[in-house]
Structure 1
Amino acid sequence: MEINYPAKLKAISLHPPYAYAIIRRLKHEEYRSKPTKRKGWILIHASKSTASDDCFQQYGINPANIKRGAIIGACKIISCRQAGFDNYAYQLSEAFEFRIPIDCAGSQSIFWGATNEDRKVVFTLASEQIRSYLLK
């Protein structure tokens, strides 16, 4: 496989209810304690955490039908606004769910990239799904 993904492409890990709510366009902001100047496409990674599983019902998502520990979709960050003291809202748009989730370990950092050979393959596969989405 030829490695081919945008150098600036990053991923963000979220607890599964929120990751799925974003890619299904049920959640249009992601709140974080640090602002971002990042704009453009980001990959959405559903972590393996079960800490927020009680929130699936809030979004009408069946947790039996989701994939954990995988990049499950993508969206664009279009802006960031302060939403309170030490609270920032990343404004999201054009979210979509990948036809095929891509198994991948996440990261604790807010945005993470293709820092090893396995992740370079994952980011290439994810980029192919974004390109397919854009061609529709």
Structure 2
Amino acid sequence: MPSAFTVLWTMRERQAWLDSGQTVFTSAFGNAYRARGVAPGDSIYILSCGQGSVWLWGRITVRQVEECAAADPSGFRDAVRADRRQSTPADPNRLLPPQLVAGIRFADGQGPAMRENGPDPQTFRGIRRLSDESRAVFETLLGSNFAHAAHVTHSPDVSESPDADIMAMRALSVRQPYVELILRGVKKVEYRSTPTTVRGRVLLYASRIPGPAEAFSSAKLKPEGLVRGAVVGSVNVVGCRVGREGYEWDLAEPRRLPVPMIPDAKPQPIWFYPFRQG
């Protein structure tokens, strides 16, 4: 699987892009793309920071990595050239919610260093390899979550959960791609080995552990395009009955969160409270 990296654009780079009038990424310059192991097919997520906030400009899918000439007046040592067909348009106004920023994880397991007013920009300096979970969250924000499954019917209502206090709700852990199929209204029954007396709206936590490969193939979904390790929505548990090989939990009215939420608590195999304090 290709790797994913973050790159922090400086004020100079941001202004140069805005002045260019471009809307699609063609390249990005730096000093350590090759040293960090960036290769064709990898993803580069362009970030910028300021006044305690972080913006996700978009994604470059790398076509090739080039060494800059020694006489290049820019002073950069190397550059990535974008595959324009696979890269996203640039959006300098895509502001990341603070909770999502705090939940970003790099491949080494570290998150951003936080100050009182937001993340320390030094956290994002250089070229940092991104975790698979945070990569999937970024892809969701960039709108490519459904790119590989256009034939799957969407739920008629996947808006934000109407519950007043989402922080007090319990969550059901479900592996991908099953949780995605629940959110789309395709999967209406959750098969479990034990019964449940829980009724009403619960959160849906997309487990870090993916389901079997044949499940992704059957749903025409790719693992890298789905969020894992985050609360992604909610659903009503409306019943439970005995099935042929266990119990069938009936589900209704799925609703997708507009932004996935990283839980504060340690996820459990079935039920847990991701945000409740104490």
Q: Normalised by the size of structure 2, how large is the TM-score?
A: 0.37
Larger Rg: 2
> 1:7 Cα deviation (Å)?
8.6
Establish whether residue 101 from structure 1 lines up as the match of residue 260 from structure 2.
yes
> 1:96 Cα deviation (Å)?
1.9
Answer yes or no: is the 8 Å Cα contact 1:11–1:45 preserved in 2: yes
Q: Which has the higher helix share?
A: 1
Match of 2:238 in 1: 78
State the distance in 2 between where 1:43 and 1:19 align. 11
- The unaligned stretches of length 5 or more in structure 2 are 1-163
State the distance in 2 between where 1:40 and 1:112 align. 15
Answer yes or no: is the 8 Å Cα contact 1:30–1:90 preserved in 2: yes
Number of positions where the alignment pairs a residue of Structure 1 with one of Structure 2: 112
Match of 1:120 in 2: 276
Answer yes or no: is the 8 Å Cα contact 2:193–2:247 preserved in 1: yes
AA matched with 1:92: L
Q: How does 1:13-28 map to 2 (within 5 A)?
A: 13-28=173-188
CA offsets 1:63-83 (integer angstroms, 9 cap, x no match): 332111000111000100100
Query: Of residues 211, 225, 235 in structure 2, which corresponds to 1:65?
Result: 225
| Aligned CA-pair RMSD | 2.2
Match of 1:30 in 2: 190
State the distance in 1 between where 2:205 and 2:166 align. 17
Match of 2:249 in 1: 90
Match of 1:126 in 2: none
Answer yes or no: is the 8 Å Cα contact 1:17–1:53 preserved in 2: no
AA matched with 2:261: I
* % identical equivalent positions: 27
Specify whether residues 31 and 45 from structure 1 end up closer, same or farther in structure 2 by C-alpha distance, changes over 3 A only. Answer: same
- The unaligned stretches of length 5 or more in structure 1 are 122-136
State the distance in 1 between where 2:225 and 2:211 align. 17
Match of 2:200 in 1: 40
SS in 1 for 2:177: helix
CA offsets 1:23-69 (integer angstroms, 9 cap, x no match): 11110000111111111001111111134243123223333321110
Query: Of residues 198, 209, 214 in structure 2, which corresponds to 1:54?
Result: 214
Specify whether residues 62 and 7 from structure 1 end up closer, same or farther in structure 2 by C-alpha distance, changes over 3 A only. Answer: closer
State the distance in 2 between where 1:69 and 1:111 align. 14
Q: Normalised by the size of structure 1, how large is the TM-score?
A: 0.72
State the distance in 2 between where 1:62 and 1:51 align. 11
AA matched with 1:107: Q
State the distance in 2 between where 1:26 and 1:41 align. 18
